[in-house]
Structure 1
């Protein structure tokens, strides 16, 4: 048997060596006779950046529908408030306090997913799909909570913006001759994040959600009602027209959506993070203004107020909407000429003068980080720039540096370096200043935190009983953001790029 097998192999080798014989065949990877090199588990290539969720203290709630507290906001002395003098042997008159009860209703946040039996079977040896499904559910819920902490809105209604002011130029653009209407819609941070800003442009209105239990509920997307239409009048520039528009700043808005077209055909043309726009061309493929039928800016009863809404609703937080400036250009940050920015310095000063506090972190968009760096590192501030070296690499410099800290001189202890951090959910044109903890002179009640996430029930996972050949899972939390000191927050908006 062995000799026969060897003779057969020798004969096969001879046959295959003859290129002109039919037995000589080419076997390549195209024949599919290859292994499949699959790396497991799946590569999770999505960011989970939740700095506020990670830093705000989480404390247990005590049941009930809301967490409640009392704010004592002022001590009013007897006589003259700043004069402590009392005659010998006599008693002072009685002081008074200003106080108010506060409450923040618990709400539920969450997300669900499902996994078929077949999908679980097919993933064996690749990843534990039930575990990774739960992990991704938790991560998505955390991302949604972060959006709620910064932009949740139960209280601030954007309403209806004023009618825009419109002008037209007859050169420099490609807009056809005619008469056009301009309509504007304001957006909250939720509206900005929920908007479709690429492809077919659209602002979020209201959406009916069908839950995994078959029940429905309605969420508002974060847009105001549409303004009245403003007409350009007849423009005739041989098809080279430009349309410019502006609207007074809408309190609580971080962006604006501009609809332009002939009467009844006004479609979404652009989003801006300042309160004006210049359009050199028009498209008819985007959302029609007729889709905006009401104010969809808040979710009263379903949401809690995040930092932005709390700041605007409180009346005590520092807010500064930059002036409109030139249409389509706006107002930019202003360099002080001494290595700082005027508007940020003014914010620090106002917080100290009014409340003797200062923010401990600045959250910015990438555009503002770039602009702040350009304002601080200009020619006039050059002599004030400090360069540190360890002596070992004295002549090695890193290009394209940016500011990572900003010095706040308005503090009781001589000043403080505060970090400047990028936040992926902030749009261009908005800066948030946040004091993470109250200074020592506020801490006589042992509550140093400006805000806490009160959790009646913190993150929990629900694995539902099987009703189909599918595992169903949800991750939920019952919580509310309680901001005890709204005056410890600050918002700069309507900032132009540059």
Structure 2
């Protein structure tokens, strides 16, 4: 503990005349000498034992914690009072009393909030920042990536010939007799050239053109952010890494649910749902009746296109106020992943600016319950279709649910518990009958896969059984999951996989290869890129480091009819 300077203790004060430097020094020396000669005693273990043996006890008084307290206690000691002159003692006491008011640091402790509010402490900051950012891209990792050229990728397809039962080509009987005559004149010719030969087979085919699109995302790091972050994290490196993963994740979502415009040869925008109906009913199970509704309920919906957008709004439907739940049902267009619902209340329709997003469903039904939203995303923000993009292509879900798909079934119901997996078996039968397809895997949302696994375990007709033996009464592992569905048509195992970004209610059925040895199709699904993903650091022309990603390509499916989808799976 440092004592105040001699000038502070013995300097000018209202009570004492000014002292010379020699007098100040002399009085300070007297104080130090008195402090030094003050008797001290150190108690050892023997002293403590003797004191308690004699019944005297020992008192440990609170020691001063500030400079002011230490000096005041010292000046009150008999030894120091004897050693100092009365004049010196009075001067020191007066100076201390004056300093007590003028210099709080003499009377305050140093704590975690004093003398600085935040404390004189270090920050235990761990570097660098933790990247809690999931970034799985299973489709991008699996689908073949090939070299593209020009502005589009083109190929020709022979979709059928006599005997295949595909491409709309009718079968013909090959039987002949000696008198059989077949016209072999060129097609469209008026000339007749009959020969004694079997009938000619016929063909079907088509050309396919898939346009390439450009894609890019960007990021910026200001100079201040980069340089201020030195010693903690390389902000430019973080920016580049995030930009790369962001590009891959956005491409993954496009591969799954992207949708291109019809003008570029893709499926185009989703139509709005039709047959919008509102039905009030009594709440059941875990449902909660509507609360706070005293006026009419107005609802509009859109067809959901997944992560990238939605269709235009329907017209409004209305229902009178009820203390029940209200089912919103529609007819969804082909290719929709579900619907989004916007709701408002009032004695008359307040319009889209006061109609709020209430949620979405993977089926054709959404139930309004509890407290209706009164803020958030307004229906007025849905000013145009955002389900399809000119700079985009059709992803797996649109293709598997589109007009060229081999099978689409919109359940609008939960998965069967009476016959678990029957939805997929029906699809396998239809795909085999149509093109002799033998799919490789099906993709599900995590909740839908759980529902399928639970259906197996709870089915009364299932042979699934859980057995716990005597030696397993503790540490029992419960739960099971469906990882393969056996195709009851071909006997092949179809892998059941969860896709991290799959919209609930949708399950595409995918063929990776064709069961045709000379199809000239090595991969049913392929990404063709004129330029695959690359990163660009732009020249510095302002106080910032700027980067972009870029890729130029498309996704194509050579054989849509060998794929299918189950949609409208009601959440459990």
TM-score range, shorter chain: 0.7 to 0.9
- Contact 1:186-1:253 at 8 Å conserved across structures: yes
SS at match of 1:322: strand
The alignment status of 1:426 with 2:466, answered yes or no, reads no
Residue pairs, 1:53-92, within 5 angstroms: 53-62=140-149, 64-77=150-163, 81=171, 83-85=173-175, 91-92=197-198
Shift of 1:85: 4.8
Alignment correspondent of 1:335: 417
Equivalent residues of 1:367, 1:497 under 8 A apart: yes
1:160 to 248, 272, 275: 272
Give yes or no for contact 2:421–2:485 (8 Å, CA) kept in 1.
no
Provide closer, same or farther for how the CA distance between residues 85 and 36 of structure 1 changes in structure 2, counting only shifts above 3 A. Answer: farther
Q: 1:379 to 1:267 in 2, by over 3 A?
A: closer
Aligned to 1:404: 483
Structure-2 separation of matches of 1:161 and 1:319: 18
Match of 1:51 in 2: 138
Question: Unaligned stretches of 5+ in structure 2?
Answer: 1-31, 41-60, 71-107, 181-195, 261-266, 284-288
Q: CA deviation at 1:491?
A: 1.6
**Residues in 2 aligned to 1:457 and 1:71: alpha-carbon distance in whole angstroms:** 26
- Select the residue among 436, 441, 447 that pairs with 1:361: 441
User: What SS does the aligned partner of 1:70 have?
Assistant: strand
TM-score, normalised via structure 2 length:
0.69
- For the residue of structure 2 that corresponds to 1:344, the secondary structure is helix
The counterpart of 2:560, out of the listed 471, 486, 496, is 486
| Matching of residue 93 in structure 1 with residue 229 in structure 2 | no
| Deviation of 1:433 (Å) | 1.4
Aligned counterpart, 2:5: none
Deviation string for 1:200-255 (max 9, x for gaps)? xxxxxxxxxxxxxxxxxxxxx521111112232x44x5xx2443321112222112
Please show how residues 6-45 of structure 1 align to structure 2 within 5 Å: 19-20=63-64, 22-23=66-67, 32-45=119-132
In structure 1, distance between residues paired with 2:424 and 2:374: 41
Residues 495 and 80 of structure 1: CA distance in aligned 2, closer, same or farther (over 3 Å): closer
- Which residue in the other structure is 1:470 paired with? 544
Stretches of structure 1 that go unaligned for 5 or more consecutive residues are 1-6, 194-220, 324-330
Asked whether the equivalents of residues 400 and 508 of structure 2 are also in contact (C-alpha less than 8 Å), the reply is no
Larger Rg: 2
d(CA) in 2 for partners of 1:256, 1:124: 48
Higher helix proportion: 2
CA contact (8 A) 1:48 1:139 kept: yes
Which residue of 294, 297, 311 corresponds with 2:387? Answer: 297
Partner of 1:309: 398
Q: Offset at 1:364?
A: 0.8
Match of residue 182, structure 1, among 296, 299, 321:
299
After TM superposition, give the deviation of residue 356 of structure 1 in Å.
1.4
Aligned residues: 434
Q: Distance in 2 between matches of 1:140 and 1:278?
A: 34
- Quick one: structure 1 residues 288 and 115, their matched pair in 2 at CA, closer, same or farther if it must change by over 3 Å? closer
Residue by residue over 1:288-321, the C-alpha shift from the partner in whole angstroms, topping out at 9 and shown as x without a partner, is: 433333333211x211111122233343331111
Please tell me the root mean square deviation across aligned C-alpha atoms, in Å: 3.3
Please say if 1:371 is aligned against 2:451: yes
Q: 2:511 aligns with which of 435, 451, 458?
A: 435
Change (3 A) 1:365 1:104: same
Please list the CA deviations of residues 320-349 of structure 1 after superposition, one character each: whole Å capped at 9, or x if unmatched. 1114xxxxxxx1111354xx3211110111
Instruction: Give 1 or 2: higher strand fraction.
Output: 1
Residue in structure 1 matched with residue 407 of structure 2 by the alignment:
318
Normalised TM-score (structure 1):
0.78
Matched residue SS, 2:146: strand
Deviations 1:19-51 (A, max 9, x none): 315248866666755444444433211101111
Q: Residue in 2 aligned with 1:268?
A: 357
CA distance in 2, matches of 1:75, 1:92: 15
